[in-house]
Amino acid sequence: MVGITGRIPYMDELDSRIIQLLQTDARQSNRELARRLGVAPSTCLERVRALTRRGVIRGYHAEINPAALNRGVQAMVSVQVRPLSRTIINAFKDSASAMPEVLSVFVLSGGDDFLLHVAVQDLDHLHAFLLDQLSKRREIAGFRTSMIFQQVHDAAPARLPDVLPRE
């Protein structure tokens, strides 16, 4: 687990267990989390706050079913931009992130520069998104679309090493 700075934040067994429990259920109260860990609520709260300050915990979110919001068609769109420059990459990343159809933006290396996870109402809306939002952009040299038939979500928490080394 490497932070933005490239440093590995120190984590002991309690920190790892906190992360594991929060990945399983981020809505549990501090009191419940402390009980499950066998520590005082004040100790638990301070550890969670420290993990947040250090950037290990980046936030909490609700997992939403796109189909329940009338966005049942999902696709991955691989995008190549030209010319390759920091300015073009940052501008496209910001623009794509603001598009309501785009769930996630990944900046890549290799043949594709971006991977967009999009969700729309139906195939007509996907086609309109590709034509109206992507194909008209000057910096886009090409894109490929792969439909998502099924998404298997691994509800199990990410496997963490027992303890990460001290810096």
pTM, rounded to two decimals: 0.76
Tell me: the pLDDT tens digits for 69-97?
A: 999 999 999 999 999 999 999 999 999 99
Tell me: the pLDDT tens digits for 101-138?
A: 999 999 999 999 999 999 999 999 999 999 999 999 99
Say whether pLDDT at 61 is over 90. Answer: no
* Alpha carbon distance 49, 73 (integer Å): 38
Give the C-alpha distances (Å, rounded to integers) separating 112 from 94, 96, 105, 108, 123: 17, 15, 12, 6, 23
Complete domains list, the chain, with CATH: 14-53 (1.10.10.10), 66-148 (3.30.70.920)
Coil/strand/helix, residue 117: strand
* pLDDT of 151: 86
Say whether pLDDT at 3 is over 50. Answer: no
* Alpha carbon distance 9, 98 (integer Å): 31
- Burial class of 25 by CB neighbour count within 10 A (0 to 12, 13 to 18, 19+): exposed
* Alpha carbon distance 119, 155 (integer Å): 21
- Which is higher by pLDDT, 61 or 94? 94
